[in-house]
Amino acid sequence: MIAVVDIGNTRTKCGLFDGQGRLEKSTSFPTGGGIPSEGTSFFEKFSGAVIGSVVPTLTPLWERLFLDHGVHAHVASAASPWGFAIETENPEKTGVDRLANLEGALSFPGSLLVIDAGTATKYDLLEGMSKRSFPGGAIAPGVEISFEALLAQTAQLPRIELAKHSPVVGYNTETAIRSGVLHGFAAQVDGMILRILDERKLPPSTVIIATGGNAHFLHGRARFVTHLKPHLTLDGLYALSRKV
């Protein structure tokens, strides 16, 4: 079994993969100042481990946890043996979650775009056929950040439950907010997809993969997303484990 952990700004996700690359079990919990019991009790028997972290202060804690199990974890970085060339200006400053997502998407042929809808909404492009490269992408505020900013800057708009259906044209304040937040989010994603494909001269048939904790909000709303892969980051960290 291979243990992988994706330490994000908002949530930490853990997974255990078998020797065939199947995700046997997974869990997630809020990222805090340490490792909660959900994390310490999740991992039992495993022979290797990979850590992907965008919270550097927590990385040593997870390394120590894995060492307590007798396993020296590989900490993913721009210097890790990814299956593509990193062509950004400062590769070492690129979040490893973005790199792991692209690694997890390598099973799809040709150029593709990964949209990670988390705390931030990240758009990352993979180009090429047999020789793949990562030229860069875009980072926007996540849907929840936008929602919280709307509430913080208005006196009378109520907090609503987002996980409901609303038409594009809302018929009261609640549905109008939900429409603006969720359909607006999907419209941003669709618009960015079209702009990226146009700028890079990529065909409309390009594979578009959505992942991340808020990707489910795109289902039935975003028009150009072709695949939803909720565990793409974990998949990419597992794929990396096969090379280190």
Best CA proximity match to 213, nearest among 223, 228, 202, 224: 228
The 10s digit of each residue's pLDDT in 131-181 is: 999 999 999 999 999 999 999 999 999 999 888 888 999 999 999 999 999
CA pair distance 56, 110, nearest whole angstrom: 33
97, 116, 124, 235: the catalytic one is 97
Task: Give this prediction's pTM.
Answer: 0.92
Tell the residue number behind the tokens 């028997």, with chain if given: 45
CB 105, CB 232: distance < 8 Å: yes
The 10s digit of each residue's pLDDT in 82-97 is: 999 999 999 999 999 9
pLDDT at position 52 over 90: yes
CA pair distance 16, 38, nearest whole angstrom: 14
| pLDDT over 90, % of the chain | 87
Best CA proximity match to 112, nearest among 204, 207, 189: 207
Sheet of 11-17, strand order? 23-30, 11-17, 2-7, 48-53, 74-75
Question: Quick check: is 116 catalytic?
Answer: no
For the chain, the distance separating the N- and C-terminal CA atoms, rounded to the nearest angstrom, is 15
CB 216, CB 79: distance < 8 Å: no
- Provide the pLDDT for residue 19: 86
Domains observed in the chain: 1-75 (3.30.420.40), 81-233+235-239 (3.30.420.40)
